[in-house]
Amino acid sequence: MQAHIFKILEKKELTKDVFELILERPEGFSFEAGQFFTAKIEDITPPCFRGYSIASGPSKANIELCIKVVEGGRGSNWLNSLKKDDNLTGIGPNGKFTLQNSNKDILIVATGTGIAPFKAMLEEHLKDLSQKVHLVFGVRYVEDIFYKDLLEELAEKHPNFTYDITVSRPEESYEGNKGRVTEILQNYGINNQEVYICGLKDMIDSVSEILKSKGLPEEQIHFEKYD
Ligand X SMILES: Cc1cc2nc3c(=O)[nH]c(=O)nc-3n(C[C@H](O)[C@H](O)[C@H](O)COP(=O)(O)OP(=O)(O)OC[C@H]3O[C@@H](n4cnc5c(N)ncnc54)[C@H](O)[C@@H]3O)c2cc1C
Residue numbers of the site for ligand X (CB under 6 A)? Answer: 36, 50-53, 66-68, 70, 73-77, 95, 112-113, 116, 200, 224, 226-227
Rank residues 65 and 154 by Cβ distance to ligand X and give the closer one. 65
The answer to whether 66 and 55 have CB atoms below 8 angstroms apart is yes
User: Is the omega angle on the peptide bond into residue 58 within 30 degrees of 0, that is, cis?
Assistant: no
Rank residues 32 and 160 by Cβ distance to ligand X and give the closer one. 32
CA distance 2 to 84: 23
The answer to whether 38 and 51 have CB atoms below 8 angstroms apart is yes
Rank residues 112 and 138 by Cβ distance to ligand X and give the closer one. 112
Residue 168 Cβ, how far from ligand X at the closest point, in Å? 13
Residue 213 Cβ, how far from ligand X at the closest point, in Å? 26
Residue nearest to ligand X (CB): 73
At 185 the three-state DSSP class reads helix
Rank residues 86 and 191 by Cβ distance to ligand X and give the closer one. 86
CB under 8 Å to 152, separation ≥6 — which residues?
none
CA distance 199 to 39: 18
Residue 126 Cβ, how far from ligand X at the closest point, in Å? 20
Residue 192 Cβ, how far from ligand X at the closest point, in Å? 27
